[in-house]
Structure 1
Amino acid sequence: MNPQNIYILAIESSCDDTAASVMCNGKILSNIIASQKIHEEFGGVVPELASRAHQQNIVPVVDMALKKAHIEKSQLTAIAFTKGPGLMGSLLVGTSFAKSLAYGLGIPLIDVNHMQAHILAHFIEEEDFKKPPFPFLAMTISGGHTQIVKVKSYFDMEVIGETIDDAVGEAFDKSGKILGLGYPAGPEIDQRAALGNPKAFQFTKPKVAGLNFSFSGLKTAILYFIQKQVKENPKFIEAHLNDICASIQYTIVGILMDKLKLAVKETGITHIAIGGGVSANSGIRDALKSGEQKFGWTTYVPKFEYTTDNAAMIAIVGHLKYLEGDYAQQNVMASPRLKI
């Protein structure tokens, strides 16, 4: 075994995906995710069911990650895990497992902020993926979070804008629920938007000062609009579904881009990195690419598998913290409302 090799086992359990990854010197050897389908019938994540599923999944997922990486647990250098933010029950499963394994192996334990990990996923060693230079702006968009972060170095980050109510992923999912789509609705809205007219229906953008976001008013406006139209024509959704999806997506993307343009103007930073599950949305990616042409931005999008909740992004933070000797103690606790 090469003594120079740093093997990090990372565990992510902040919401409803149980994930484990093995990294060697910044390169991913395995990235395993067990998704929980049970939440689909409830139209959202049920915390109690999520924590139970994590308990069932964590041992086989970690075992598979080690096997796929072709290493033994005795070769591990450190264990990294998600401390927060997230669902308390879910976080407890990953935290407890990581603490026990690190203690049993006598190796360092490293706690990771889930939101920092979404941003630092850009620094996983991957061919053909450029890394953003410091300073850069990170827009993290997911089911639970919407933030614009000024990133000065790996661990010097400042949130300069965030949602004051719903996250952008929630806006997509709740709009989908109104339309009778399955959960999560974001991917289907994206697919249907490509087939519809984005200017068929107009929804007013919320007026929020500065760089903060709000999506709850938009969600309510969509609900009232659909209720009114369905009252007049019971088959309205069926007849106009693609146009409705295109119009909703156009409005949401417009809100995100307006704030991003303002952030670039206020900071003078033109390197833009995105992360989080909603960054897979084609409308957002297209708008960012368009911004490169119009505004002279340089945009950075991580590999698709590193955008949703995954353990590879936890591994890269673990690797960077290991290099700095920044370890956690055995009395570390999960923190569901952890801030950057």
Structure 2
Amino acid sequence: MSQLAGETQAGAARQAARARQVAPSNREAPSSRSVPENTTAPLVLGIETSCDETGIGIVRGSRLLANVISSSMDEHARYGGVVPEVAARAHLEAMQPALVQALADAGVELHEIDAIAVTSGPGLAGALMVGVAAAKALAVATDKPLYAVNHLVGHVGADVLRDDGTEIDLPTIALLVSGGHTSLLHVRDLVSDVELLGETIDDAAGEAFDKVARLLGLPYPGGPQIDRVAAGGDPRAIRFPRGLSKAKDMERHRYDFSFSGLKTAVARWVEREQDAGTDFSIADVAASFREAVVDILLTKAVAACVDRGVPRLLLGGGVVANARVRELAQERCDAAGIQLRIPPLSLCTDNGAMIAALGAQLVMAGKQPSTLSFSADSTLPVTQIQA
């Protein structure tokens, strides 16, 4: 990690030098420690490097101008999962091209940016370091205010960038499901009041999809592959367990999730069928597994809405791209009289636009920028919206 840290610092220094070249030297830039003058529709650049996507986004208030994502997924596919050091090195290589592309897409220059926002956590430590170092370098080089924000709350913030222009209604229950996180939140205020109701106590839902895909002989990443194969299967063919759904579990873990036991149950079922020489349907296994995951996710999410008296549910995270997640969510919400909101699918996976959006919300709320003393925090609690 020491070698990686050295490369990260060297990369940040190079980025700072480039930033100085594009930042005008003859203008009076505002102090990086003060709120931007433009608090009505601030132009904010967001940097996201929590996992394997290098995301650079630019927003003006709640309007999306650019969303550039450089994924290193193909590099991780050969290993069957994300390798932290590979991800960090890929971020170093992708940062500069992604930044240049985002500025071009938005039709703005770096000196026009009002503020910079960056994911400070949670996520992979090495990957986060790259984004944090790059953001600090840009902030120092351009003398722009810097906002260090929470990755999970960023997923909620993506909803303000909806194409239909409708504003996010608060409070809301938010279900965030991805390869690294499965969390259930009560969001009363996007910039000041987020409560963690529950989270996975072992594997995240996305991890479970990857592991089950592997045992079924499907390639990485598992989510899209399971979704594709499950389309031709019967979701009622096999009754796989729903983790933490029994009465004794609900007392302590009403809003928590567990997918490790489900993954093991699928593995044991496949082993038994293979030992017996049975020609079973992979599509049925995939569909039944997917149904178990989606069922428990939506059961607990809707229960949180009912228990808290919040008639709104917001979905976020890469697993939301799963067709059955969206379908069952709509069914369950319609039945319970709950409004369902899903950000555009391009904004559900990790991206810089959601970080820029949350940063813009902080600016518009008059929140003070972060100091340069913050660091990457792989376990940053969701209740800490800004570092």
TM-score, scaled to structure 1: 0.95
Q: Deviations over 1:45-74 (max 9, x none)?
A: 001111111111101111110111111111
Aligned with 1:180 (options 197, 213, 217): 217
> Which residue among 228, 251, 261 is the counterpart of 2:272?
228
Shift of 1:130: 3.8
Deviations 1:187-226 (A, max 9, x none): 1111222211111112122233211111111111111111
User: How far has the Cα of 1:235 moved from its partner?
Assistant: 4.8
Name 1:337's counterpart in structure 2. 379
Unaligned runs of at least 5 residues, structure 2: 1-36, 383-387
Map 1:100-115 to 2 at 5 A: 100-115=137-152
Could you tell me which of 175, 184, 190 is aligned with 1:148?
A: 184
Please give the TM-score of this superposition, normalised by the length of structure 2.
0.84
Give the structure 1 partner of residue 3 of structure 2.
none
- Residue 271 of structure 1 is matched in structure 2 by 312
Match of 1:40 among 77, 80, 96: 77
* 2:96 aligns with one of 59, 77, 88: 59
- 1:291-318 per-position Cα deviation (integer Å, ceiling 9, x unaligned): 2331111100100111000011001111
* Counterpart position of 2:27: none
Once the two structures are TM-superposed, the CA of residue 129 in structure 1 deviates from its matched residue by 5.7
CA distance in 1, matches of 2:318, 2:256: 19
Aligned CA distance change for structure 1 residues 5 and 158 (closer, same or farther; 3 Å): closer
In structure 1, what is the equivalent of residue 258 of structure 2?
214
Amino acid at match of 1:266: D
Mark the CA change 1:274 to 1:235 in structure 2 (over 3 Å): closer, same or farther: same
1:327 aligns with 2:358: no
Query: Which of residues 42, 52, 61 in structure 2 aligns to 1:25?
Result: 61
In 1, distance between residues paired with 2:49 and 2:71?
Answer: 11
- 2:348 corresponds in structure 1 to 307
Question: What is the aligned partner in structure 1 of residue 46 from structure 2?
Answer: 10
What residue number does 2:33 align with?
Answer: none
**Cα shift readout 1:63-111 (whole Å, capped 9, x = no counterpart):** 1101111111111111111000001110001000100111010110110
**Cα deviation code 1:220-242 (max 9, x no counterpart):** 11111111111112753xxx111
Cα distance, 1:128 vs structure 2:
2.2
Provide the rounded CA distance (Å) in 2 between the counterparts of 1:261 and 1:17: 30
Aligned residues: 335
Contact kept in structure 2, 1:132 and 1:273, CA below 8 Å: no
SS at match of 1:8: strand
Identity, % of aligned pairs? 38
Q: Which amino acid is the alignment partner of residue 70 of structure 2?
A: A
Letter in 2 for 1:11: I
Measure, in 1, the Cα distance between the counterparts of 2:224 and 2:131: 28
Q: Which letter maps to 1:104? A: A
Q: 2:210 aligned with 1:170, yes or no? A: no
Equivalent of 1:289, from 319, 323, 330? 330
Contact 2:171 2:310 in 1 (8 A): yes
Distance (Å, rounded) in 1 between the aligned partners of 2:168 and 2:135: 30
Tell me, yes or no, if the aligned pair for 2:116 and 2:135 is still in contact at 8 Å: yes
Counterpart for residue 197 of structure 2: 160
Q: Which moved more, 1:16-25 or 1:305-314?
A: 16-25
Q: Which residue of 2 aligns with 1:259?
A: 300
